[in-house]
Amino acid sequence: MKRALFAAIALAALMIAAPGESSSILRSLPSNVQKNIEGIRAACRERGSDISVTSGDEGLITFTVSGTQAVLIDELNFCAYGECIHAVNCATGYTHRVAIYVRYGNVWRKSFSVNATGRTFLSVEPYTDKFKALVLGVHGGGDLGCPVRHKNDPTAWKYEWCDFVVKWNGTKFTHRPL
């Protein structure tokens, strides 16, 4: 009995990782994703000491889909408290990359990716981390495309931007305009 208890305690101790060890979400993501995040952080540091920069898993937003771990990676979340710093974490029109990776065993797979504009909003169920929806804007004619009536001529179509809601259908992410 004592031997079984000792083995259980030892196993539990091994499962608890010390801060900064490779069990972090960031270090488990594909190497190109890690490099991109660290590149954004380095570029922010180069801009000056007055710009806040995240470290480790800060800026990664975790949740679950169908009981599986997922992570939202929004380039705005890694420096300057989510602000757009042109040529660092965003481009013209507040354009920034947003991606969702879902963990399958020990492998992260990109399940959704888009060039967004403006802020994103992730909704999870209260008191849990279960995904409900992601709301974001995209430029018209871009990744998801969205024709919008021109403000000065309601009969003319012009591509500007649209808001989309992203949902999980049990096997994949789907999107539709709001």
pLDDT per position as a tens digit, 45-94: 999 888 899 999 999 999 999 999 999 999 999 998 888 999 999 988 88
- Here the tokens at position 41 are 């952080």
Instruction: Report yes or no: 70 and 101 within 8 Å, Cβ to Cβ.
Output: yes
Predicted local confidence at residue 40, as pLDDT: 96
As a whole number of angstroms, the distance between CA 114 and CA 27 comes to 23
Reading the block at residue 74, the tokens are 């929004």
Per-residue pLDDT at 11 exceeds 80: no
Pair 43, 145: CB distance under 8 Å = no
Each residue's pLDDT tens digit, 111-131:
999 999 889 999 999 999 999
At residue 115, the pLDDT reads 92
Inter-residue contact 38 to 55 (CB < 8 Å): no
Q: Which two tokens stand for residue 80?
A: 């300057």
**pTM (2 d.p.):** 0.80
